A and B are shown apart, each in its own frame.
Chain A
């Protein structure tokens, strides 16, 4: 029975290399995926596969394609190691696909027990915050003022979820800078820059550690959360921000116009 080999992302192709050296390398990089080995001898033509989960070899199989002889498990693994510099392709798989390999490949091909493998691959279930953010890697849970708490987080990359009786905020931080924000209470939901004015409250704060690319992924999925840096925008479009005095004079003019209109209405006979 041929092995089930899913499609993945080929990261190396057609290299003539020593398999034991490659195994060491894949172990160091905690590789998940498989290597495909092709080797020709006088006895036949061999096509072999070794599957890895986080750098560890989990499944092996070799087929001699001319006489269609198949070797599985430890026997296949040893056979592949005996090949002198075969041609090797390295293909990366995600966790979902490697789980399928465990599900669909024959048990004889496994290099360790099925229960052990399944246990290793199972990820703990985490609750999900709004916007599909997984509540994993909780690093701190405190009661504090949200604005003060965030200002203290230098170089922090992660998600802050703060809850009070009358509302809840989600703040996305990257290197201590706010990248995204959302506020909710029973009647409204506010996202983006406006949320920055609503952080001055005391609540129960949970801080979750995330990788920078995870933060960017959340923003990409929910662009409304993004905090736009006004000064950056001004710079980009070469806009000179108005001075305080200019704003005041505009406001004064509007008010004066309104007063003038009111007076005009009073004087005009109906």
Chain B
């Protein structure tokens, strides 16, 4: 159950939404109390990711994640084994805890998918 793995991210203080997209941008699963937080990512994640990937390639590096700060909070996009994991949070959130959860979550995502 993929949502269960996402629920572990949701338990982290400040996390508002956890979304799992396929590499093509299709929604696989999401958990949030506000569905309007999911919709924009379906359209804007791939172009954003492609630009970031090209930027990294021109630097001779590989893209692993993108972090965006807004006036309302933070968005972190991780590339995980052919999937995209998006965490939308408030401004104050423990990113270390999200990274730790990501390490544990990768294996669980593989099993669940």
Q: Which residues of A contact B (CB under 8 A)?
A: 2, 14, 38, 40, 44-45, 47, 63, 65-68, 87
Pair B4/A38 contact, Cβ less than 8 Å: yes
Majority-rule SS of B interface residues: mixed
Nearest-neighbor residue (CB-CB) of A16 within chain B: B1
How many chain B residues touch the partner (CB < 8 A)? 11
- Cα of A114 to Cα of B10 in the assembled complex, Å: 30
Residues of A within 8 A of B4 (CB): 38, 47, 87
CA–CA, A227 to B10, complex, Å?
Answer: 58
For this complex, 14 residue pairs linking A to B, each with C-beta atoms less than 8 Å apart, are A45-B3, A45-B7, A45-B10, A45-B31, A47-B4, A47-B7, A47-B8, A65-B7, A65-B10, A66-B32, A66-B33, A67-B33, A68-B11, A87-B1
Chain A residues with CB under 8 Å of B31's CB are: 45, 65-66
Q: How far is the CA of A38 from the CA of B112 in the complex (A)?
A: 14
CB contacts (< 8 Å) of B33 on chain A: these are 44, 66-67
Contacts of A38 in B (CB 8 A): 1, 3-4, 7
Partner of B11, one of A14, A44, A65: A65
Q: In the complex, are the beta carbons of B10 and A66 less than 8 A apart?
A: yes
Minimum C-beta distance from A99 to chain B (A): 24
